[in-house]
Amino acid sequence: MSDEDNGSSRRQVMGAVGVGVGIAAAAAALAGRAGAQTTPAAPLPDGAPKISDPRDKYPKPPFKQQRQPWPGLASKMDPKPDHGELSYKGTGRLMGRKALITGGDSGMGRAAAIAYAREGADVAINYYPTEEPDAREVIDLIRQAGRKAVAIPGDLRDAAFCRRLVADAIKGLGGLDILVSNAGRQQAHASILDISDEDFDATMKTNIYAPFWIIKAALPHLPAGSVIIGTTSEQAYDPSEDLYDYAQTKAATMNYVKSLAKQLAPKGIRVCGVAPGPIWTPLQISGGASPQKQMTFGSDTPGKRPGQPVELAGIYVRLAEDDGSYTTGNIYGAGGGKGQP
């Protein structure tokens, strides 16, 4: 998530390390800290594709009860989420592209940042200042992939910062053609009566106002062929009773994707969305789920587990790559079998 501290300096970090060397270095650095590890598939005959059983690929509930102050750190979760640090291998699908990702320190934003860099894109990430430890890991991974990395901490609830964010990303990257509006605020409340005006305002500004401000600032600089990707949610289709404010922002995200896609098609700019189901991210342990829901998180899916951020990385890549040129106004789901969209 992004945060603005008036005295905070924004960092730009650039690296030029070989892709192969970078992935090896990332593996060495993260091997002892990686959370969920893939369960090896049963041996297959020579030449057969290597596949894994999705039911057992990642941890299942019950999970340890844990709580962190909002917005939380992925590096302190138990188990740690898998963003593709050790597993995602790129093939040059985004070579030379320039991406800005909000919420790029953890969750789907981090998975997209890692994948984009390993596919050949330069990447700027935005996040809240207290998420600096997670963000540093992502910046290092982008550099190790041999790509340019730009770190821009700040508070997305501030319109002026959102405009500076775009300007700093364009300056640091030398342009912009992929915008991923991913940062989100989620706080669970049993009753609408428990939601203060300040809480409601913070959720709306983070999830709805910020994309509005950022897209407006970025649009004059996006060339034909660019793509805007919004992160919506299963909550847009099947809202939970304790996510009254968050769920309506995700429905609004789904709708702005569809509306903006029609508006920008004549300019050659695509707009798409990703709708995750239950994904294991810091949202869940920093107020986004009740203690009981947190312990059983993902158990209501047919696979009986939550998804990991890396399981959506390929979707973000597919929507951004040039071969996806006929995909606009569409929402791609990863719901673990729950159906929508």
SS3 327: coil
Q: Helices 19-30 and 132-144 sit at what angle, rounded to 10 degrees?
A: 140
The model's pLDDT over 57-83, given as tens digits with 9 standing for 90+, comes to 999 999 999 999 999 999 999 999 999
Q: Where are the domains of the chain?
A: 11-29+74-334
- pLDDT for 141 equals 98
Residues taking part in catalysis: 246
Position 100 pLDDT exceeds 60:
yes
**Long-range own/partner contacts, residues 322-326 (CB < 8 A, 24 or more apart):** 322/225, 323/93, 324/227, 324/270, 325/225, 325/270
The model's pLDDT over 165-203, given as tens digits with 9 standing for 90+, comes to 999 999 999 999 999 999 999 999 999 999 999 999 999
- pLDDT for 34 equals 42
Q: What one-letter code names the amino acid at 41?
A: A
- pLDDT for 43 equals 56
Confidence tier at 341 by pLDDT (50, 70, 90): confident
Confidence tier at 44 by pLDDT (50, 70, 90): low
- pLDDT for 340 equals 74
Q: Residue 287 is encoded by which pair of tokens?
A: 């107020």
Selection from 24-28, 44-48, 50-54, 275-279 with the highest mean pLDDT? 275-279
Confidence tier at 21 by pLDDT (50, 70, 90): very low
Mean pLDDT of all residues in 192-217: 98
Name the burial class of residue 91, with classes exposed (0-12), middle (13-18) and buried (19+) by CB atoms within 10 angstroms of its CB. exposed
CATH class of 11-29+74-334: alpha beta
Q: Residue 159 is encoded by which pair of tokens?
A: 């319109």
- pLDDT for 42 equals 53
Position 301 pLDDT exceeds 60:
yes
What strands lie across the sheet with 227-231, from one edge to the other? 11-14, 148-153, 122-127, 98-102, 178-181, 227-231, 270-276, 331-334
Calculate the average pLDDT of the chain.
Answer: 89
> Which residues touch 47 (CB under 8 Å, ≥6 apart)?
none
The model's pLDDT over 266-290, given as tens digits with 9 standing for 90+, comes to 999 999 999 999 999 999 999 999 9
